[in-house]
Amino acid sequence: MVLLLIAWMVPQQREMVLDSAQFSLALFAALLTGEAVIFAISFSASSTWPSLREIDEHIAFREWVVVGSVASLLTAYGFLVEADVPATYGALLFLFVGIFGMFSFVRLFNLASTSGRKKMLRQTLDRALAAFTAHGADLRPQMSGHPVITAFLGQLDESAARSDSNGISALVEELADDSAQGRHGPATTALHLQVLHRIVKAALVGKLDAVVAASASEAVVDSLLRRADAVRASAPPRAASATDALPTAVDLGTLSRYLAWLANAALALSTRNVSASGTARELIAMTVDARLRVLRLVDPDPPNAAGAQEVGTPLTAPGSVLSWIWAYTQFHGAHQAAGMYAVHEILTGTKFLGNYWDGASILTRLRAALFDPDSDLDTQQAAATRVHFGSVAAFDHLWTLMSVDALATLRDRRAAHPPELIRPEFTPDPRLLGAYVHTFASHRYAANAEEALDALIRTVMRPPSPRPAWQEVRSASDAIGWAVPIPATGPHERLPGCVLALAGRLAPLAPRESSRELERFLDALSPSVLRATARLAARTLPVPSGAEQDEPRTAILDGLQVLQLVGRHEEQSG
């Protein structure tokens, strides 16, 4: 508008305007041609990532062309009606358009290089993710139709289908934010999980190369862990309010549960020759390693900590660490027995000094330390945990519910476990299975069959308490749970798991202990549920094949003997 003023005050003659406009128009045409050439070389018309709209926003192409057109129209009009002011204004505008064009051209050159393009795409993705404000179950519809997200995922699918490793790594780099200053909301986690799942699925049942998939998925997991780590670094050392730590807990929990499921699914597909065993091997190795990293992140004092950056935990509140461990122990997840050490430390502020291979029970000690009248534990964390649970009945109920989900999702033992897929913490070793089951089975609060039956009724009828806290967990999980393909199932829908969870709590833990109460408990159940429980035991515990049909009760008793593989009584009796 300054230009309009100048043109008004000092209109030029037609010849001078004409000469100036000719030069400017030539520059305009040259820049336009240059941009068209670069467009044609660097960007494909069919690509939606980056889409023309994003490029246009970055280089302000549309605005530039519009202003240039206005300038030329004004000049032409000025010549037509022999008015000097519009013609001069048009010529001046053309000068401005020339500068604008050079700026746009330089920006386009930046985009044509890979690093410039990555930067622009990362910013586009950041902006899109920051715009999602929905919570809970409303997030999914908001994210599903969004053009930027759809374009990104579409590009990912295309690169995966062509097994284009450069494409996939570029896309993952755009998503992962090295500086960890990007958005931390549920939308970011949901997108990470979706990307992870698509890469993994393309590797297992599609054509994506296994090594590319493994390194790309590691990068995605890394990015998620960095975000959680940023929360850890900023979390105060004492127990914070539950709502601060909850989104991180839900993120880490959903990720851990997904990784455990992935390992089992990869094993199953590999043994059925749907996936190559090399692919399964890579992915299983990735999941076991990633789960260990999650555990080290949550553990306030991991073994062999490399320094201050590994000490401390993002899950400082009892509700958040409980929601994390509930997800961490599902699907026969690796390192779950070790995860209980972190839980003990976060809930009580003290370390658990026993060893679960010796038969030491973290839950028993936790229960005694928190709720025994003569317990001398008075740390701040213990006080917060007691307030969270409210009563020992709520404590028992919650851990029973967790054990239902853990037991019901154990791996199928009847299928072969090929040697190339065996890794530490991912083996068919019955002793490791015994340790995982022992974690929950050693948590004893029912002295006899009647009390166990009461507990069973409570497990089926009641949700976990305190209810408002678990509603929040549910809402936070709903916000990102749809990004992984595993449905959320409650313990009450897993009746055999409920029975087995309580049966384990009556089963003998040492060779000479009596199984009478366990037998009485099983006898009090309906035949259909008893048979279903026997089927679960035959699938997940070491039971002679076929036994579950002939003698369901014996099958369950035999299967629960796996508990006796853990503990020192072996050496004492042997």
Partner 1 sequence: MTGLDPRYWRQRLGLLAVADLVDVLVVQCRVEWLHPRYRELRDEIDEAVFRLLARRDDVAVRRIVLHNLPSPLAGTAPGELATLNGAHADWTYRMAACATVLPPGRRPEVQRLIVGEHQPPPEIDDCLEVRTGTGWSDPVAAEAALTLQRRAGATPLTTYDVEPDGPFGDADPSVFL
- In the complex with partner 1, which residue's Cβ is closer, 230 or 486? 486
Distances (CA, A) of 426 to 274, 438, 540: 20, 17, 14
CB closer to partner 1 out of 127 and 462: 462
d(C-alpha 467, C-alpha 481), whole Å: 20
525 near partner 1 (CB under 8 A): yes
Q: Residues 285-320, buried b or exposed e (16+ Cβ, 10 A)?
A: bbbbbbbbebbbbbbbebeeeeeeebebbbbbbbbb
Least distance to partner 1 from the beta carbon of 138, Å?
11
Q: Does 485 bind partner 1 (CB under 8 A)?
A: yes
Cβ-contact 534, 552 below 8 angstroms: yes
Q: Does 497 bind partner 1 (CB under 8 A)?
A: yes
* Residue 573 beta carbon to partner 1: minimum distance, rounded to whole angstroms: 35
Q: Which of 118, 531, 553, 569 binds partner 1 (CB under 8 A)?
A: 531
> Which one, 232 or 281, has the nearer CB to partner 1?
281
Rule CB under 8 A: choose which of 115, 304, 528, 572 binds partner 1: 528
Cβ proximity to partner 1: between 309 and 471 the closer is 471
Sole window of 28-36, 229-237, 314-322, 495-503 interacting with partner 1 (rule: CB under 8 A): 495-503
Kindly provide the b/e burial profile for residues 64-91, where b requires at least 16 CB atoms within 10 angstroms of the residue's own CB. Answer: bbebbeebbebbeebbeeeebbbbbbbb
Among 107, 122, 492, 520, binds partner 1 (CB under 8 A): 492
Residues 331-350: x/- map of binding to partner 1 (CB under 8 A)? x-------------------
Q: Which stretch binds partner 1 (CB under 8 A): 95-103, 108-116, 141-149, 257-265?
A: 257-265
Decide if residue 202 touches partner 1 (CB under 8 A). Answer: no
Distance CA 211, CA 333 (A): 23
Assign 3-state DSSP to the chain and report helix, strand, coil percentages, each to 5: 70, 0, 30
30 vs 274 by CB, closer to partner 1? 274
CA separation for the pair 203, 276 (Å, rounded): 9
Q: Which is nearer to partner 1, 65 or 499 (CB)?
A: 499
Q: Does 487 bind partner 1 (CB under 8 A)?
A: yes
# of chain residues touching partner 1 (CB under 8 A):
47
- Lay out the site mask for partner 1 across 439-478 (x = CB under 8 A, - = otherwise): -----------x--xx-xxx-xxxx---x-----------
Nearest to 303 by CA among 270, 244, 246, 345: 345
Q: Give residue 34's identity as a one-letter amino acid code.
A: G
The nearest distance, CB 287 to partner 1, in angstroms, is: 13
Least distance CB 410 / partner 1 (angstroms): 9
Closest approach, Cβ 532 to partner 1, in A, equals: 4
Output the smallest distance, CB 408 to partner 1, in A.
5
The DSSP H or E segment spanning 87 is: helix 84-112
Dihedral, CA of residue 458, residue 462, residue 465 and residue 470, to nearest 10: 140
**Integer angstrom CA distances of residue 499 from 28, 80, 456, 517, 550:** 79, 93, 7, 14, 19
Rounded least distance, CB 531 to partner 1, Å: 8
Does residue number 392 form part of the binding site for partner 1 (CB under 8 A)?
Answer: no
How far is C-alpha 102 from the chain's CA centre?
44
Chain centroid to CA 522: 39
Asked if 535 interacts with partner 1 (CB under 8 A), we say: yes
The structure tokens listed for 221 are 């997991």
Report if residue 536 touches partner 1, rule: CB under 8 A: yes
Residue 163, phi-psi category: left (phi > 0), alpha (psi -120 to 50), beta (remainder): left
Name the residue nearer to partner 1 (CB basis): 257 or 367. Answer: 257
Q: Tell which positions 113-172 bind partner 1, by CB under 8 A.
A: none
Question: Does residue 390 bind partner 1 (CB under 8 A)?
Answer: no
* Residue type at 449 in one-letter notation: A
By CB under 8 A, residue 265 contacts partner 1: yes
Tell me which stretch binds partner 1 (CB under 8 A): 64-72, 129-137, 312-320, 535-543.
Answer: 535-543
Distances (CA, A) of 247 to 234, 243, 300, 481, 561: 14, 8, 18, 12, 39
The residues facing 423 across adjacent strands are 426
Cβ partners under 8 Å of residue 500, min gap 6:
404, 407, 408, 533, 536, 537, 556
Report, in Å, the least distance between residue 185 CB and partner 1. 23
Among 493, 513, 550, 551, binds partner 1 (CB under 8 A): 493
Our finding on whether 527 is near partner 1 (CB under 8 A) is yes
Contacting residues toward partner 1, per CB under 8 A: 201, 204-205, 261, 264-265, 268-269, 274, 331, 408-409, 412, 450, 453-454, 456-458, 460-463, 467, 485-487, 489, 492-499, 524-529, 531-532, 535-536, 539
